Structure 1
Amino acid sequence: MFADERRRKINLGGASSAQSHAIILDQAKARRLEREALRRKQEQATRIQAWWRGQREARLVRARMQELFAQDMFSITGLRCLALTCDETALESWSTAVSQDGALAFRSAAAPHQHQTSWLILMRQITLLLLKSVANSPRLNRSVVHLRVLTSIFSPSWYRPTFGSEATDACAAITRYTLDHGYYSLISQAIFAIPIPEAKTSQSLPYLVVLATQPFSILATSDPAYSFALEALLSRILVIPLLPNRIPIASLTHLAGHLPFSTLNLVEDRVPQVAHEDRVHLVANLVTFTSPRYSKLPKAALEAYAGLVTALLNALPINALDARHPGVEEYDSDMEAHAEGDVVTLPPLDPRTTKRLDVLFSTAHIQSLTSALQSRTALVKFLLSLATISPARKDDVLRAVQVNNGGGLVREIYRVYVRSSALGKDTEMNTLADTANAPSWTYLLFLTYLYNQALTTMGDDEFFSTAAPSSTERSIERNPLSLDDLTTFSRQLMNIAFTLYWRTPGELSSGPVLARAGIRLNWEGVRDIITKCLVAIHARDSRKPFTPQDHWLVTSNFDVQSFVEAAIFEEKELTSDSNAEVVVSGTRVRPTHSLSARQLAYLSPRLGILNNIPFAIPFPVRVSIFRRFIQNDAIARGTPDRYSFQGMSHRTRVHIRRSSVAQDGFDKLAGVDLKGPIEITFVDQFGQEEAGIDGGGVFKEFFTSLCKEVFDTDRGLWLATKKNELYPNPHAYATEPHSLNWYRFVGRILGKALYQGILVDVGFAGFFLAKWLGKQSYLDDLASLDPDLYNGLTFLKHYEGNPEDLSLNFTVAIEEFGTTKSIDLIPNGSNTPVTRENRLQYIYLISHYRLSKQIKLQSEAFFEGLSDMIDPKWLRMFNQQEFQILLGGVNSAIDIEDLRAHTVYGGLYDEKHPTIMAFWNVVESFDHEQRRALLRFVSSCSRPPLLGFKELLPNFSIRDAGSDQTRLPTASTCVNLLKLPLYQNEAVLREKLLKSITSNAGFDLS
């Protein structure tokens, strides 16, 4: 047929002389390709013929096997034919026959002993065929028949008539084989293929549920296949989304009762290796099926369950369980920012799954688990992972622990596990990253979380309570840690925090020790959490000291002067180029005015200490650093001496009417650079400029008058506490744009005072000062704002009856313009009653609203103006009490010797003049209040400068004021000058001076 085509064509005539070489090559190539194509055709034809012959033979063999199977489907030969043909029709016929009346005959094929081994081998394969058929089409009627047979095959009693005492072993052998060949994957595929709407009517699902738990009733717990089945159950069945919704109610009860949770300890160290989304569904299903059975589970099983859920939570991305519904309370994202691992975004969760996950964070669930779980290690790890996985609900978790005897848990964790640990000991500063300390880190971090949360709703009366610490009844009412405990604990935290700030993150390997402790954070995150608790404890100590002197200082670890110089250098380097950008934790930021305390710690260990744990450095040292920062800033701006106005060619000249000091200041200084020298010219009531040149004193006079006006509570911008401490008016009027502009202006003016070292005799409420320093305020600060509300919330916290009897809900009543309106503290707060479980949240939200939310816009505007003058990181070097001292001087006894040593005399006076000597005799006889009145009379501020009267600029001065014995002393506060007549008698001097300083008679601003 192909003879002519295969014959080689030979040209006997020779090559034509006209034919080119290229044509010859092309012809040869074409013939070669033609031969290759022919060869491929022949090979393909051969393969097609072979395949066709094979198919024909297979059909013949299959047909023969089907005949043999039909002749006796229960014999060994029939089973072998079924296993080899894998014919779906034959499989359906076989399972129908077995299901109806052939079971006995089927089992009889294995009766002869010599057939049992072959029978079992064939049954393994047929069982797998049945499972695959069900998995591929679980909704067909034949699958119901297959499932009915499968439930028999996986029942040892089915084998007993034939195998007798070996029936369980026979059933186990088939079970092991199918487990090795995807048993749970096939069941999972079948369950997942049935839509949820069909779950209640599905005939297949009840059988599938039985099969899901059947291996655990067949295999011994010591059998390795048992552990394998348990892992497969977790990773294949319990990861099915909305599993409880996919199963009929009757079968759901069966599943919940037959899940092998009592043996979970067999796989506690093996977390299912599944996708993040599957882990979420596994957690949801575990909690749904297990939480009602906590009290019934064996100790080891419950501990294993807690360990498994903990491991799953730690393997999930941060926020994986957060629904992120609108209106979720703002939260501290420190953990999210410092969590180890890549950021993974998961698909949105079904609301039904979200609802089941919410059970994890509920007070009832946490209380149930805490009561049932005896292992403190397992409990602490579980609660720590729960707080870590959802920063938005961290506070809910910690409050739930508080409600369930959180005080007793705090005390136990500290005294049993933390106090004796090596972490934070003065002699163990270099062992933080030692893996041997991993268990201690777990307890320490959770204790820090829990105690810091307790402080948010703990008033000072509770904090300083001296109740017996051994009492556990109503422990929520008492400070769970004694003051001695807190002294030791705070020192531990202080040593850890200082080490973590002083040593760069690269010097500590966060992986081994923190990972082993089950902590999701890196060292920066751990440091932030410890710092937060440390600052809260220090705030209580600042108000009412209970620690030894120098307890907070760490200056023994370094040379203070070198620290100061290095801190000033680091700050100068950061702000030398305001346009330069740096990368902090993966974020590009500009150093000037934009670095948070956390970011600053990343760039500079010394500035990190000063901004986060400033109390580690003595207060006078920080004040000197603050002054140096301002001095460097002034030099950089071309103003070598920020206090001097002499020789400055460029000044801002401003005309101020004495009758409108505040309004003119607001209007004319709005766009002025207040860091530069301001020359004030007063205009009298007739519109005439007052004589004189502003060398600094006139500006202080203006500043003093301005402060008296803008801080007058009658103006509507400020209110005063019972201690006469100012805070922004929370009224809606104060949030209008015009009012906010006034707050910005006042912030800039006070910034000017700080910049130039002018003391301001104004006291601010501590919770308002906290806003300046970037800190939060809690229940303990509410006592200064609203004592009645504070007492009411304290009563609610300690109330032993049912809080619902008080008819409270999550709203706050605000009265404005004679009308009271109710504001929800949480979504649907008016319909959410305050209960025993949520009262701590209510107390926190009320305090937060009154102390922060009501004055949020006002505080932000004020701080915006203040930040124009003073870098926020300079302010963060102080707490509220220290900042008030920096602003208005130290509230302590006036040192007359220091004042006398730094007093300047003018006119006829010198330090040996008789009137001056009489003056100092009189002043030394004054009591504390009289001395303060004198200082206020002369300088407009009753408190001395922090670092002594050498810091008072200009210096305290005394000048003669004539010889009229009836004239009262006067003062020019703008230049700190006392004008003292030449009194001849010490008694007269005392009388006249007291009259002036107590009644402001003869007060002279000029």
Structure 2
Amino acid sequence: MGLSYNDVLLPILWKFLVDLGPNCGLKSFLELLSQAPNSTIHPVFSLLTVFCDAASHFIITLDDIEMYEQGRLFKLEDYVKISEFLNCFVFRVIWNNLIDTTAALTSDVFGSTRGLLNILYERDCRRSYTPPNHWLIRDVKPSVFMAELEKGKKPAVFLMQRLPHIIPFSERVKLFRRHVNKEKEAMGFTESACTSPQSTLISVHRSRIVEDGYRQLAQLPTKSMKGLIRVKFINEQGLDEAGIDQDGVFKEFLEETISLVFDPSLNLFKVTSEQKLYPSSTSYIQENHLSLFEFVGKMLGKAVYEGIVVEVPFAPFFLTQMLGHQQSATYSSLDELPSLDPELAKNLSYVKHYDGDVDDLGLTFSLDEDIMGRVETHELVPGGKAIPVTNENKIRYVHLMAHFRMYKQIKDQTQAFIRGFKGVINSDWLLILSAPELQKLISGDNAELDIQDLRRNTQYYGGYHNNHKVINWMWDILGKDFNREEKGLFLKFVTSCSKPPLLGFSNLEPPFSVRCVEVSDDQDTGDTVGSVLKGFFNIRKRDPVGRLPTSSTCFNLLKLPNYQKKSTLREKLRYAISSNTGFELS
């Protein structure tokens, strides 16, 4: 610890590494490792170990201002070089099995290099300072690695557990889906089992979606929760709605439930200034609020388990807690506080960097919170209200304050939610993800809509086909006339989510579909021979200019009238997606 705050030693050690050759002398280190099983006792490895340990102690104490703006000891380009070297070094130690694997993985140099590498990677996940694809290992094909992993080869398994970031995210998503499919097969929940009695049937009233879902699913055994859940809706008149299925109707129920429970007006969740969700500290005003959190966690876990993308943006710090990364010895609540409360983070940074006597600020180890008109005092330590913040204890104060706001204040709610989520999603499957990647797994990719991929994986009904005039118009409008935002609105209009699925539209369930319709939704009785022939041969009594496109998001289905002009289609489609509506819009 003393060495880490020596302003001379770390820069000298860094210069020494840089002068060893390209990529901090990586080739020299690997050659030394290959010479003998005990080569890690070579003095050059001792210097590397000292550098990594001292740098680790130093970097975890830096806040964003010190690291990104002030550049204390190291510039951002130095961090890029350090992480590139460490990434390749740690990878090669494991993958090439250059020395006795046990000796390498238990040596001081391996533990030190991997420790600093993880600190730099976690920092990059929170606020990126590296170029795109920086963490990937480019000279190893993902397919080769995944094949080795499937065979259970020790280096590959160890790598995936310790350095998942070296493999492209798409490959790790595929691995996650394979884990899910293998578990389904083991439990007998294969596609052929969809028609078997191994399913759970629930009845849900339209006016009591959350209440009925909670009552019937909250105590459902884990195996049944992972299996087939079939839903029958009851309408406002108390009559059964047509259709019970395992795909579309359940997807609608899941999306409706998630939309309702994450609505801040329910007070289970709050939103940050950036409109990101996190548990509400006053959720206790809801009866059985912790059981509700567990149920919500289960429902979100079920969505991820089934590959149903839902637009639920979580605060980064909460995603970190879902993954359990806050339990790491290198984690600091202060680093992620801006994702919850930027104003508090700014104030604590002011206290930390205050040059005068902090005692003059009149702070104590406590905070007051206004809870529905009543001021409640929280003590950060026993008797904290009477303990002043001074120059000697200000660092402890800022960390305790951040820890209280981000973890302790919502500890029970967070634990209940995670208990439900991980009751469906195996914790080991999440080890391969960072916090931003978990958000992508939940809510889809931020990439622009790939029109060609969507078209290749679209099904048609009602007489439409891939080369139908109206269909060609639609794809042309999407590709050439709609901007990125409008493409996202179009996808949300049909599927309820503006982001494409991570592995492309071939993995969207149910498949994206377009159906030719000539009547309003309340008159629509499905495709008939006559309606299909009319759609196919473009036969219509008149141009349906009075009708708008509609959608059934539960089936990822666009209901598209057979317009006579491309300009009409463009106008109606743009109006429909901008109205933020879907069902029964006419």
Bin for the TM-score computed over the shorter chain: 0.7 to 0.9
SS across alignment from 1:433: helix
Displacement of 1:881: 1.1
Change (3 A) 1:840 1:501: farther
Query: Which position in structure 2 is the counterpart of 1:826?
Result: 381
Query: Which position in structure 1 is the counterpart of 2:483?
Result: 927
Change (3 A) 1:847 1:879: same
SS across alignment from 2:432: coil
Residues 419, 489 of structure 1: 8 Å contact kept? no
Residue type at the aligned position of 2:498: S
CA distance in 1, matches of 2:151, 2:204: 40
Query: Which position in structure 2 is the counterpart of 1:444?
Result: 51
Where do 1:923-1002 residues align within 5 Å? 923-924=478-479, 925-962=481-518, 964-1002=544-582
CA distance in 1, matches of 2:366, 2:175: 45
Residues 267, 283 of structure 2: 8 Å contact kept? no
SS across alignment from 2:487: helix
Displacement of 1:555: 5.2
Query: Which position in structure 2 is the counterpart of 1:785?
Result: 340
Residue type at the aligned position of 1:408: D
Higher relative contact order (Cα pairs below 8 Å, separated by 6+ residues): 2
Query: Which position in structure 1 is the counterpart of 2:291?
Result: 741
SS across alignment from 1:454: coil
* Equivalent position to 2:117, from 514, 534, 537: 534
Change (3 A) 1:649 1:530: same
Residues 834, 842 of structure 1: 8 Å contact kept? yes
Query: Which position in structure 2 is the counterpart of 1:34?
Result: none
Residues 552, 582 of structure 2: 8 Å contact kept? no
Where do 1:515-594 residues align within 5 Å? 523=106, 530-542=113-125, 544-554=127-137, 556=139, 558=140, 560-570=142-152
Residue type at the aligned position of 2:468: H
CA distance in 2, matches of 1:999, 1:819: 41
Residues 410, 451 of structure 1: 8 Å contact kept? no
Alignment partner of 1:860 is 2:407: no
CA distance in 1, matches of 2:362, 2:8: 30
Residues 407, 480 of structure 1: 8 Å contact kept? no
* Equivalent position to 1:727, from 278, 287, 294: 278
Residue type at the aligned position of 2:309: L
* Equivalent position to 1:669, from 217, 226, 237: 217
Residue deviations 1:65-113, cap 9 Å, x none? xxxxxxxxxxxxxxxxxxxxxxxxxxxxxxxxxxxxxxxxxxxxxxxxx
Between stretches 777-786 and 904-913, larger displacement belongs to: 777-786
* Equivalent position to 1:464, from 55, 62, 68: 68
Displacement of 1:409: 5.3
CA distance in 2, matches of 1:894, 1:536: 34
Larger Rg: 1
Residue deviations 1:434-466, cap 9 Å, x none? 3323531452243243234224xx12x44322x
Query: Which position in structure 1 is the counterpart of 2:268?
Result: 717
Where do 1:244-255 residues align within 5 Å? none
Unaligned runs of 5+ in 2: 34-38, 327-331, 519-539
SS across alignment from 2:195: coil
Change (3 A) 1:843 1:893: same
Query: Which position in structure 1 is the counterpart of 2:42?
Result: 435
Residues 808, 833 of structure 1: 8 Å contact kept? yes
Residues 365, 381 of structure 2: 8 Å contact kept? yes
Query: Which position in structure 2 is the counterpart of 1:295?
Result: none
Query: Which position in structure 2 is the counterpart of 1:842?
Result: 397
Displacement of 1:554: 2.7
Displacement of 1:853: 1.6
* Equivalent position to 2:79, from 486, 490, 512: 486
Displacement of 1:711: 0.7
CA distance in 1, matches of 2:287, 2:109: 41
CA distance in 2, matches of 1:564, 1:768: 30
CA distance in 2, matches of 1:441, 1:820: 53
CA distance in 2, matches of 1:410, 1:790: 31
Residue deviations 1:212-233, cap 9 Å, x none? xxxxxxxxxxxxxxxxxxxxxx
SS across alignment from 2:236: coil
Residues 19, 25 of structure 2: 8 Å contact kept? no
Query: Which position in structure 1 is the counterpart of 2:425?
Result: 870
SS across alignment from 1:687: coil
The alignment's TM-score, normalised by the length of structure 1, stands at 0.51
Query: Which position in structure 2 is the counterpart of 1:9?
Result: none
SS across alignment from 2:288: helix
SS across alignment from 2:60: helix
Residue type at the aligned position of 2:511: N
Alignment partner of 1:622 is 2:185: no
Residues 18, 24 of structure 2: 8 Å contact kept? no
* Equivalent position to 2:447, from 892, 902, 905: 892
* Equivalent position to 1:612, from 158, 162, 169: 162
SS across alignment from 1:983: coil
Query: Which position in structure 2 is the counterpart of 1:755?
Result: 305
Residues 91, 159 of structure 2: 8 Å contact kept? yes
CA distance in 2, matches of 1:767, 1:952: 29
Query: Which position in structure 1 is the counterpart of 2:14?
Result: 415
CA distance in 2, matches of 1:809, 1:654: 53
Residue type at the aligned position of 1:412: P
CA distance in 2, matches of 1:443, 1:787: 35
Displacement of 1:767: 0.4
SS across alignment from 1:759: coil
Where do 1:81-480 residues align within 5 Å? 380=3, 406=5, 408=7, 411-412=10-11, 414-416=13-15, 419-420=18-19, 425-427=25-27, 428-429=29-30, 431=33, 433-437=40-44, 439-455=46-62, 458-459=63-64, 461-465=65-69, 467=70, 478-480=71-73
Between stretches 648-657 and 806-815, larger displacement belongs to: 806-815
Change (3 A) 1:658 1:649: same
Residues 10, 54 of structure 2: 8 Å contact kept? no
Aligned length: 543
Residue type at the aligned position of 1:638: G
Displacement of 1:900: 1.6
Query: Which position in structure 2 is the counterpart of 1:706?
Result: 257
Displacement of 1:941: 0.3
Displacement of 1:894: 1.1
Residue type at the aligned position of 1:725: K
Change (3 A) 1:728 1:919: same
Displacement of 1:822: 2.8
* Equivalent position to 2:237, from 686, 695, 713: 686
Alignment partner of 1:813 is 2:420: no
SS across alignment from 1:1003: coil
CA distance in 1, matches of 2:246, 2:574: 30
SS across alignment from 2:188: coil
Residue type at the aligned position of 1:957: S
Residues 92, 98 of structure 2: 8 Å contact kept? no
Displacement of 1:538: 2.1
CA distance in 2, matches of 1:737, 1:438: 59
- The two structures, once aligned, show a CA RMSD in angstroms of 2.8
Alignment partner of 1:631 is 2:181: yes
Residue deviations 1:394-438, cap 9 Å, x none? xxxxxxx7xxxx383575354355555799743123536133235
CA distance in 1, matches of 2:386, 2:98: 50
**Identity over aligned pairs, percent:** 35
CA distance in 1, matches of 2:477, 2:7: 59
Residue type at the aligned position of 1:507: T
Change (3 A) 1:979 1:793: same
* Equivalent position to 2:206, from 658, 661, 668: 658
Residue type at the aligned position of 1:944: P
